[in-house]
Amino acid sequence: MRKQLKDAKRIVIKVGTSTLIYPNGNINLSAIDQLAFTLSDLRNQGKEIILVSSGAIGVGLNKLNMDKRPPTIPEQQAVAAVGQAELMNIYNQRFLTYSQQIAQLLLTRDVIEYPESRKNVTNTMEQLLQMGIIPVINENDTVAIDELDHLTKFGDNDQLSAIVSQLIQADALIMLSDIDGFFSANPTINKEATLFSEINEINDKLLQLAGGKGSRFGTGGMYSKLKAAERVLEHNSAMVLANGQHPKIIFDILDGEMIGTLFIR
């Protein structure tokens, strides 16, 4: 089943904060450079690439010399505003090293929910891809809130990446995280945990195996990744969950190597 990844032309890459930020809170410039090199080379191969990137708050915390997320939403949104600008500065610099143009799209859930705005977002992404530009997509943290009557949050960028994949009918979603794939138990505390090489259906048993949130700089845990995979499977696409420590692993994934967990019908 992995052989079909070789033929994937339109690919969404999702990178978590853990790929972009070291555990000590500093920016992982090596990983970002690898990511820019890899995605630029895939573009040179003729593939259409969309990057869904977390990291605004993590980069903002680093820029502002803060060691943990502030408690209030306005403070978090201010940190995200600083971090998003800095993150795009870094991305622009690294991608231009490989002569690759990028563009920024900041989305909220209400944009996706309304037919006219959804059409506009989709048309923008399609036009950018046609122009050979890599869209860099993130949730608009400065306006996205999650209140009873104002549901504008995607929840996390795992869900956002699955929705983007759906909107543009991507052939594959590659989700880079801080874990090698989906395991039968938490491999950091259970040495008996086994990696699922392939999953064809998201069921209650799998959802129960998934627990808690991720790193202190990110929001997405394994549960959110399974829910993203569920959306991808519903639209007959494929998703690979793999470790993003070295983003060049994307080359190996698209070569069909047995890396991470493949979600496919």
What DSSP string runs through 153-222? --SSHHHHHHHHHHHTT-SEEEEEESSSS-BSS-TTT-TT--B-SEE----HHHHHH--S---TT----H
- The annotation places the binding site for substrate at 54, 141, 157
- Tens of pLDDT along the chain (265 residues)? 788 899 999 999 999 898 999 999 999 999 999 999 999 999 999 999 999 999 999 999 999 999 888 988 889 889 999 999 999 999 999 999 999 999 999 988 777 788 999 999 999 999 999 999 999 999 886 666 554 334 445 557 888 999 999 999 999 999 999 889 999 887 878 888 899 999 999 998 888 887 644 443 333 478 889 999 999 999 999 999 999 999 999 999 999 999 999 999 9
**Residues contributing to the annotated binding site for ATP:** 14, 177-178, 219-225
Binding region: 14, 54, 141, 157, 177-178, 219-225
pTM of the model: 0.91
Strand duo 238-243 + 261-263: pairing: antiparallel
